[in-house]
């Protein structure tokens, strides 16, 4: 943590005859800043000692001596409140920043560990959906947070380019496709065919047999079927790649389901060896009844592979290739059962690494109102959403700051990042309602607000004009507004640690909103460039620079841009 917390913990542990870990866990932040910087609630102790918590707090406060780091120890009801020596604390935090710069926040705690993360992974027979945008944004942020903390990261795109959906698309194409139309405008036409298939399926269930037959031909390697499939996949990939380019997302490995469709034997064998592969109505399954789950199906009664068997093959491949310490799948919550079945199946195999696998599910995103303009029929195409974000942001910039240079590039950086932030700012598993006015509000809890604060702090430094000298005397800092900023900066390393272990980028998003808020307050309340003592100004500029660094790092960890002007 930091020497301040260490001293509180040490002295409190001695005074209360508790072990340090317990004290550390109990230590919290008081609800109001006048109360102090840390608080020790005495309820647990009271239970143990069968005493009144307020009496214990009073007794402890009397026993704990103040010192270099701790300026005040006071009992307030059932709490002991601690106030730090402010100038010392602020100087400590800023020195850490000076030392680590853009690396501040990382303790390199992931060194030697490998994360493999499967994210985005769109289904290429269907349109690139909002769910895949979420998976892309969330997965990319989780990847970047781990990498920043020193993990070796392998970002894997595992597109759905095989299986039942392709059987359906092939069947639809053979029935209804107008070849010229498809060639002129592939993705929307294919999406329309796929949609039509699923609509007509309700009236005509026999279509499903056609789809299954197409899939069988595909798995059997029929030349014409394969060629058609290859064309569908290629078009889907191009569409996805355009979106990755817009979002500036890259993968270390792209290996779709199709590449694991011929590995069925390798999947079945280990299960068969352990007696875990059971024949059931012509199919081959791993029975998971005991865990109240439907079976994990290895092979259908038609002899084709399944989503499960392809995922198993991919998982074996990943472990063989990377020996991961954490294998994370980022998809919407609807696939929770699929991954529970998958993980249970490998656990039953007795591989040593089944506990390394985890699913990071996320909630649904819906659009409020019908404000998405679609240029391609009545479907929401992601690319159009992203284009619209840039357009709307351009209009806001035009209004707020018409003299800004390179407005187009900045509108792009802000608009796209706003959409990314909207995907990241609430807890993963919560559903999100997307509304332009909210997402693009420069004064709300939004991406543009954080970027704007970053640009504002860059502009303060530009106006300051001199090199920021981290060596100056920082002893003059200690105002409430300065202390608030320092406290928030000090929380960054722990915030990243938690975001990493919980696979929860929203913690970083919330952190940045809070930092931007206290930083703006600081700038609004205190003179920074003039109107104060030269020494104080020099010290405040160090605070400004520190805020700028952390905002920039945080934005980059979320996969967002940090323009210096906007
Ligand atoms: N293609 C799937 C979908 O579109 C997501 C795949 C997630 N990754 C995996 N290995 N199953 O929903």
> pLDDT digits over 209-220, tens only?
999 999 999 989
Q: Could you give the CA distance from residue 412 to residue 416 in angstroms, rounded to a whole number? A: 6
pLDDT for the residue numbered 45: 86
| Report field, pTM of the whole predicted structure over 0.85 | yes
Q: What share of the chain is helix, strand, coil (3-state, %, to 5)?
A: 60, 10, 30
Task: Read off the pLDDT band of 372 (50, 70, 90).
Answer: very low
Ramachandran assignment for 538, one of left (phi > 0), alpha (psi -120 to 50 degrees), beta (any other): alpha
d(CA 258, ligand 1 centre) in Å: 12
Rounded to an integer, the average pLDDT of 504-532 is 96
Q: Ligand 1: residues within 6 Å at CB?
A: 118, 121-123, 158, 160, 311, 314, 329, 331
As a whole-number percent, the residues of the chain with pLDDT over 90 amount to 87
Q: Is the pLDDT of residue 377 over 50?
A: no
Give per-residue pLDDT as tens, 105-144: 999 999 999 999 999 999 998 778 777 899 999 999 999 9
pLDDT for the residue numbered 206: 94
pLDDT for the residue numbered 129: 76
- Closest ligand 1 atom number to CA of residue 329: 8
Q: Could you give the CA distance from residue 376 to residue 373 in angstroms, rounded to a whole number? A: 9
d(CA 128, ligand 1 centre) in Å: 12
Tokens 């290429």 map to which residue? 124
d(CA 435, ligand 1 centre) in Å: 26
Mutate to test the pocket of ligand 1, among 117, 120, 121 (most ligand atoms within 8 A of CB): 121
d(CA 121, ligand 1 centre) in Å: 5
- Closest ligand 1 atom number to CA of residue 314: 10
Cβ atoms of residues 327 and 306 within 8 Å: no
d(CA 139, ligand 1 centre) in Å: 13
Q: Is the pLDDT of residue 288 over 90?
A: yes
d(CA 387, ligand 1 centre) in Å: 25
Mutate to test the pocket of ligand 1, among 311, 335, 346 (most ligand atoms within 8 A of CB): 335
As a whole-number percent, the residues of the chain with pLDDT over 70 amount to 98
pLDDT for the residue numbered 307: 95
Rounded to an integer, the average pLDDT of 413-427 is 96
Rounded to an integer, the average pLDDT of 247-273 is 96
Give per-residue pLDDT as tens, 161-182: 999 999 999 999 999 999 999 9
Task: Read off the pLDDT band of 364 (50, 70, 90).
Answer: confident
Mutate to test the pocket of ligand 1, among 160, 312, 343 (most ligand atoms within 8 A of CB): 160
Q: Is the pLDDT of residue 531 over 60?
A: yes
Q: Could you give the CA distance from residue 220 to residue 202 in angstroms, rounded to a whole number? A: 28
Minimal CA–CA distance to 387: which of 376, 378, 403? 376
Q: Is the pLDDT of residue 379 over 90?
A: no
Cβ atoms of residues 159 and 240 within 8 Å: yes
Q: Could you give the CA distance from residue 202 to residue 554 in angstroms, rounded to a whole number? A: 48
- Closest ligand 1 atom number to CA of residue 129: 4
Task: Give me the chain's average pLDDT, please.
Answer: 94
pLDDT for the residue numbered 249: 98
- Ligand 1, atom 7, residue with closest C-alpha: 121
Minimal CA–CA distance to 144: which of 454, 429, 557, 531? 557
Q: Is the pLDDT of residue 380 over 70?
A: no
d(CA 160, ligand 1 centre) in Å: 6
The phi and psi torsions of 96 (rounded to 5 degrees) equal -60, -45
d(CA 163, ligand 1 centre) in Å: 12
Q: Is the pLDDT of residue 34 over 60?
A: yes
d(CA 133, ligand 1 centre) in Å: 13
- Closest ligand 1 atom number to CA of residue 315: 10
Q: Is the pLDDT of residue 374 over 60?
A: no
């Amino acid at each position: 943590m930091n020497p301040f917390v260490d001293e509180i913990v040490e002295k409190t542990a001695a005074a209360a005859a508790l072990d340090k870990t317990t004290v550390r866990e109990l230590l919290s932040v008081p609800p109001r800043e006048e109360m102090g910087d840390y608080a020790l609630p005495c309820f647990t102790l009271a239970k143990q000692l069968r005493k009144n918590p307020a009496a214990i707090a009073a007794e402890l406060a009397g026993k704990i001596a103040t010192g270099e780091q701790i300026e005040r120890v006071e009992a307030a009801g059932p709490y002991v409140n601690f106030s730090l020596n402010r100038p010392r604390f602020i100087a400590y935090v800023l020195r850490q920043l000076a030392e680590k710069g853009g690396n501040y926040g990382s303790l390199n705690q992931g060194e030697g560990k490998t994360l493999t993360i499967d994210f985005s992974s769109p289904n290429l027979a269907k349109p690139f959906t909002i769910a895949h945008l979420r998976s892309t944004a969330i997965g990319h942020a989780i990847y970047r947070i781990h990498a920043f903390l020193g993990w070796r990261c392998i970002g894997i795109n595992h597109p759905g380019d095989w299986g039942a959906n392709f059987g359906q698309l092939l069947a639809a194409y053979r029935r209804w496709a107008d070849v010229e139309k498809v060639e002129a405008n592939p993705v929307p036409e294919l999406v329309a065919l796929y949609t039509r298939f699923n609509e007509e399926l309700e009236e005509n269930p026999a279509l499903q047999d056609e789809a299954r037959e197409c899939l069988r031909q595909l798995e059997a390697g029929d030349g014409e079927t394969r060629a058609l499939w290859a064309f569908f996949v290629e078009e889907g990939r191009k569409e996805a790649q355009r979106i990755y380019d817009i979002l500036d997302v890259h993968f270390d490995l792209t290996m779709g389901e199709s590449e694991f469709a011929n590995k069925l034997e390798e999947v079945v064998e280990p299960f068969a060896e352990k007696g875990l592969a059971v024949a059931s109505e012509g199919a081959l399954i791993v029975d998971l009844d005991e865990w109240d789950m439907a079976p994990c199906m290895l092979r259908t009664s038609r002899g084709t592979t399944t989503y499960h068997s392809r995922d198993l093959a991919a998982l074996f491949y990943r472990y063989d290739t990377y020996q991961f310490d954490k294998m994370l799948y980022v998809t919407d919550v609807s696939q929770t059962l699929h991954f529970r079945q998958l993980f249970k199946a490998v656990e039953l195999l007795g591989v040593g690494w089944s506990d390394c696998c985890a699913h990071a599910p996320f909630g649904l995103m819906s659009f409020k109102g019908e404000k998405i303009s679609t240029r391609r029929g009545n479907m929401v195409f992601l690319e159009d959403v992203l284009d619209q974000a840039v357009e709307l942001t351009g209009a806001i910039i035009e209004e707020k700051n018409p003299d800004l240079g390179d407005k187009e590039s900045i509108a792009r950086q802000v608009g796209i990042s706003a959409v990314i932030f909207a995907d990241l700012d609430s807890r993963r598993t919560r559903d999100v309602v997307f509304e332009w006015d909210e997402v693009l509000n420069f004064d709300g809890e939004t991406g543009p607000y954080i970027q704007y604060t970053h640009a504002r702090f860059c502009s303060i430094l530009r106006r300051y004009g001199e090199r920021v000298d981290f060596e100056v005397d920082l002893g003059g800092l200690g105002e409430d507004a300065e202390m608030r900023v320092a406290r928030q900066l000090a929380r960054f390393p722990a915030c990243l640690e938690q975001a990493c272990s919980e696979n929860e980028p929203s913690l970083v998003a919330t952190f940045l909103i809070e930092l931007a808020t206290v930083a703006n307050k600081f700038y609004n309340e205190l003179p920074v460039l003039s109107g104060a003592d030269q020494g104080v100004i020099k010290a405040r500029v160090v605070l400004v620079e520190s805020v700028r660094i952390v905002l920039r790092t945080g934005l980059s960890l979320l996969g967002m841009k940090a323009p210096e002007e906007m």
